[in-house]
Amino acid sequence: MSHKVTHIVYSLYHGGAEHIISTLLRCGDSASFTHSVLVLSSGGSLIEEIEKSGGHVLLLGKKKGFDPALPFRLASLIRKTAPDIIHLHNSSPGVWGTLASMISRTGIPLVKMEHRPWIPKDLPLFHRTLYRYLAKKSEKIITVSEDARSTFSSSFPSLESRLVTVLNGIDLTPYKELQPVEECRKWFGLPLNCPLIGSIGRLVPVKNHRILIEAFLAVKKRYPDAHLAILGQGPLEPSLRSYAASRGISESLSILPATLDVYKFLGALDVFVLPSRSEGLPLTLLEAMASALPVIASSVGGIPEVIEDEEDGFLTASGSSSEITEKIFRILEDPESAASMGVRGRDKIFRNFSEKRFIEQIESIYLEILKKRK
């Protein structure tokens, strides 16, 4: 018997929640589950991929800020599509989707997925105020790391029985064979013979790319031919380029648009750095480690649940450009040790962070909820 799952998400641009939906469609049990996606905003670059995988996508074109008509439009779509489960991704879809479910009066079970820790200051007052009440409407609240789970558990003890951690997983297929470095650099138009440091992430404040550029300035003094490449798009791109220009390193910085060929970008790098201020459990970190890269990442969110410091990666204090610089130097000055660290990291990801394990756990939660409803 096939069960219908409707996902509600803010957009379908490249991001953790969006890639998880894509993963469930591409690699899930298609005989047991079919998926549709209700997108609150007006689109995203992953729409084509999701539709190719058999998912039906509907765009709602939500207005910015408070949109009182939105839950009623969502409720109408819920009644028309009549899913067996509604899967809500992150805060805004969680609020609007839960309100819509209540308005629809269908009684369809809700699963809520939190891809980030609970940081109330980052949320609109409307969402913060309603969260405790609306979250109780979900049968399960899935967090992607134990750290994220603890932030919700401590803030909302009454939700404890609903919280469950499912660590993120990635498609390991592209990483089974490591890519030739020169070929990958040519693919992205990156310099061939230089130390290449890279990062992946949306160009938004929480990803903290400014601190990475600051660290790179110090790297340039010791390695004048070094190059920094950032894969991602977002509102901070002009200011990041302007800052690099003001420090005279425009020619040493490449900011590249998001792509599905992440494995090729990672194959071009010597060092991967994730300088985020906050994270759930970032897929880009898992992908970098699967590429056998030496990685440097802020010790925030679920990252320490993946990296054992000095063993299969380096952890740094969030916001410390000097620590990032020092770790980059250690990697570049001892490539043999760095390569061994990369191999240990790759082995860990292949053992513990496959998308197969992730999908099986999510689908088992669906089945557990559906069984209770019979």
Q: Which pLDDT value is given to residue 63? A: 76
In the 8-state DSSP scheme, what is residue 353?
-
Taking 90 as the threshold, does the pLDDT of residue 132 lie above it?
Answer: no
Residue spans of the domains in the chain: they are 3-169+355-373, 173-352
Taking 90 as the threshold, does the pLDDT of residue 16 lie above it?
Answer: no
Which of 74, 85, 97 has its CA nearest to residue 139? 85
User: Which of 19-28, 229-238, 301-310, 344-353 has the weakest average pLDDT?
Assistant: 19-28
Taking 80 as the threshold, does the pLDDT of residue 339 lie above it?
Answer: yes
Which of 278, 141, 201 has its CA nearest to residue 19? 201
- Cβ burial of 206 (10 Å; 0-12, 13-18, 19+) is middle
Q: In percent, how much of the chain has pLDDT > 70?
A: 100
Q: Which pLDDT value is given to residue 205? A: 95
Q: How confident is the model at residue 129 (pLDDT cuts 50, 70, 90)?
A: confident
Same topology, domains 3-169+355-373 and 173-352? Answer is yes
Assess contact for 373 and 83: CB atoms under 8 A: no
Taking 90 as the threshold, does the pLDDT of residue 314 lie above it?
Answer: yes
Q: How confident is the model at residue 12 (pLDDT cuts 50, 70, 90)?
A: confident
208: three-class secondary structure by DSSP: coil
Q: How confident is the model at residue 168 (pLDDT cuts 50, 70, 90)?
A: very high
Q: How many angstroms separate the CA atoms of 324 and 273, rounded?
A: 8
Taking 80 as the threshold, does the pLDDT of residue 373 lie above it?
Answer: no
Say if domain 173-352 classifies as CATH 3.30.70.360.
no
Q: Cβ–Cβ contacts within 10 Å for residue 232, how many? A: 21
Q: Which pLDDT value is given to residue 374? A: 66
Which parts of 31-157 are beta strand (E)?
A: 33-39, 56-59, 85-89, 110-114, 140-143
Q: Provide mean pLDDT across the span 31-56.
A: 87
pLDDT, tens digit, 9 for 90 and up, residues 236-277? 999 999 999 999 999 999 999 988 789 999 999 999 999 999
pLDDT, tens digit, 9 for 90 and up, residues 52-80? 888 889 999 887 777 888 999 999 999 99
Q: How many angstroms separate the CA atoms of 353 and 355, rounded?
A: 7
pLDDT, tens digit, 9 for 90 and up, residues 95-126? 999 999 999 999 999 999 998 899 888 888 88
- 181 versus 132: which is more confidently predicted? 181
Q: Which pLDDT value is given to residue 335? A: 96
Q: Which CATH number fits domain 3-169+355-373: 3.40.50.1000, 3.30.70.930, 3.40.50.720, 3.40.50.2000?
A: 3.40.50.2000
Q: How confident is the model at residue 19 (pLDDT cuts 50, 70, 90)?
A: confident
Q: Which pLDDT value is given to residue 214? A: 97
User: Which of 47-51, 241-245, 319-323, 359-363 has the weakest average pLDDT?
Assistant: 47-51
